[in-house]
Amino acid sequence: MKHLKLILPAILLVGSLFSCDESDEFKYDDGRTPLTDIRDIPLSANEKLGLYENLLEYVPAGILLGCGIDMVDGYMNNETYRNLTNANFNAVTAGYHMKHGAIVNNTGALNFQAVDNFINTLPANIDLFGHTLVWHQNQNKTYLNRLIAPEVIAAPGKNLLDLSALEDETFTGWGRNNAAGIIVATGEGRSGGDAVRFEVTADGNEWDTQLISPEIPAVNEHTYELSFWIKSEAPGQGRVSFAGMENNYPWVNGAKFFDTDGTWQEIIYPDMKATDDVIKISFDLGTTAGIYYIDISSISVIDKDAEPVFVNFISNGTLDDNLDGWAKWNGADNCMTQAAEVDSYEGTGALQVVNLADGNEWDTQIHADFTSILEDGKNYEVSFMIKSDVDATMRCSTTGGTSHYQGTQSTGASWTKITWEFVGNGEETGLNFDLGKVAATYYIDNIIVKEIIDGGGGTVIIVKTWEEKTQIIDDAMRNWITEMINHCKGRVHDWDVVNEPMTEGGNVRPGQETTDAADEFYWQYYLGDDYAVKAFRYARAACNPGDKLFINDYNLETNNSKLEGIINYVNYIEQQGQTVDGIGTQTHAYIRNADAATIAEMKAGIDNMFRKLAATGKLVKVSELDIRVGSTTPSPDLLELQAEMYRYVIESYLTNIPQAQQYGITLWGIGDGNNGSWLEDDAPCIWDKNYNRKLAYMGVANGLAGYDVSAEWDYGYMVDTQN
């Protein structure tokens, strides 16, 4: 019998078993001083705890008994935590450090260093469950939102910061704290250019190693954007401080400091409001020792409230040098020439067109192709300066697909600015000047065709279409899943692909475009109900043959609508051609103030859940089991009830789920409090905050064993085993 060895090694005989002398003691070593006396039997529940073996001794064959762990502060940096994990579990789930938010940085690069260190430490006989690939929380929201944000193109020549003193390595006008540690490193920039190299020899104040810019002319109340690319030879951190701004010590991406590592990353301070007519910036890198590089050519300060800059869809709109790009489509020979500077509105040239006789608008027609086809649904503006030697009329039109026609415009001897707006249909290829209506000589200059963009400033803003956003997010999901699985597939053979997809009403969670939470990003907002279909497709393509892919959610034991909803969603995913191997039920139970009727209802819900999950034929996993008690100092009654509920969940699982579908049970957290539990203000775990066993440990062990392991631990049993 498995539990015999719990007692026999601990029994010590002094004298004879049959002696009536009270000095003859029958003791066993349970770690107490003095040793437990035979007269203490029957043992209390707390005394029995010390006699239980590690949980793996009670796990049924083929079952993975897992634990959700804190990978870094817990497992890697706490020996007690690590030893408890290794001794009691044959599977682990990293609670955070394998998720998108932990792996993907703000430029989209993936950093696997912490995961690799963990994998190299974790014993080979412990299964590592991949958690979780697609969820709406614990995402790098900053990176994903930047992918679909309007494209912001710095205006050519509009960088307000003079970089010449960095480029020639003189640092003229620049201030340096720790000047010896701040030099220009040739060829160390992001694209092979030069970089400013910062050598920080010891941890210190931010300003101990600091590069301060010259004064930059500014406009009070204008908004400015600073951007640059940075990396460091080892993990480090930095900040930027300002002078002349409304907030001279801003945070970036929700933190006072930005983190750096061996990969280049772009740092952007996007909305800095000036309160003076000059501003200054300081790169403050003195906090953490290391070597840092800032790419010189990437340092940019832009006035976002400056006169808007645009992209002209006409390649030669000034006509100063030649008439390249312009052609006569209709009209007399040599009707189109370049006007002299004296007949131009601005610059050294203009377009001169002679229409010899009154007629149709198109009888004299001058054409230029757009630099790219215009887009459907976007608003465009045509503008130009025009005059004619006599009072005349003209119009513009477009080519390609269904043409647009401008209303008739009047011209005369004075330069007049004419503008025309229309909505693109996605087929426009070029612009016509239709000048055949009135016999006249026309002069046209400063021709601009641009998209009408709200806002703007000193940048070109290109807003992405919904279709573009959808494709970008689809690509981002595929790349993330593929790279994560490919990196870990030698060690990870089961994945939580989609986490918490359902609403409490049993529908697919619709998601939101944005939330206040710093790490929330809803893939399904852009990809719809098929987001899980795509996730399983990408995961299946990347994983090893035979790897198991799960979908996972919570409250399935208390909400029948949600339970049926996830089962229906699994069916939908499979109808779209993908295979879901298993369904995970988190099972975060809560027993505070629960009376007998409530407990009975909870147990009935647990049984119902397991029976319905079993009926799917899928593998079933209890993925995040814990029992909350609503207190950090639960009463003895609550501790007993907690142990009872742990046992009940496990026994219900083993009873209602056929053995072939039993994939495993994962407890969520090692110790109460800040020892890796996600509920620091509760006591949901089977070890307390000091890693002592709680009665819940006994509940788990008995549930796994299928009976009360300690039931026979009485005087007669102990004597019998000794004999």
- Residues marked as catalytic: 500, 624
474-480 own/partner pairs: CB under 8 Å, 24+ apart: 474/526, 474/527, 474/534, 476/108, 476/144, 476/147, 477/134, 477/523, 477/527, 477/531, 477/534, 477/535, 477/538, 478/534, 478/538, 480/100, 480/104, 480/110, 480/133
Give the CA count within 13 Å in the CB-facing half-sphere of 33.
0
Element (H, E) at 96: none
Non-local CB neighbours of 531 within 8 Å, separated by 6+ positions = 134, 477, 498, 523, 524
Contact 83, 116 (CB under 8 A): no
Q: Which helix (H) or strand (E) holds 597?
A: helix 596-615
Q: Measured between alpha carbons, how far is residue 248 from residues 105, 176, 318 in Å?
A: 25, 18, 42
Cis link prior to 42 (omega < 30° from 0)? yes
Select from 342, 348, 335 the least CA-distant residue to 442. Answer: 335
Residues 138 and 521: beta-carbon distance below 8 Å: no
Task: Report the candidate in 449, 322, 460, 478 with the shortest Cα–Cα distance to residue 374.
Answer: 449
Residue with tokens 């409230």: 305
* H runs (alpha helix) in 69-194: 79-88, 100-103, 113-121, 141-148, 164-167
| C-alpha closest to that of 619 among 632, 607, 610, 628 | 610
Radius of gyration for the alpha carbons in the chain, expressed in angstroms and rounded: 36
Q: Taking a C-beta distance cutoff of 8 angstroms, is the pair 403, 343 a contact?
A: no
CA distances from 214 to 303, 609, 655, 686 (A): 16, 67, 74, 60
Asked if the peptide bond before residue 201 counts as cis, ω within 30 degrees of 0, the response is no
The per-residue DSSP string of 509-564 comes to: P---S--SSTT---HHHHHGGGHHHHHHHHHHHHSPTT-EEEEEES-TTT-HHHHH
Paired sense of beta strands 151-154 and 175-177, if any? unpaired
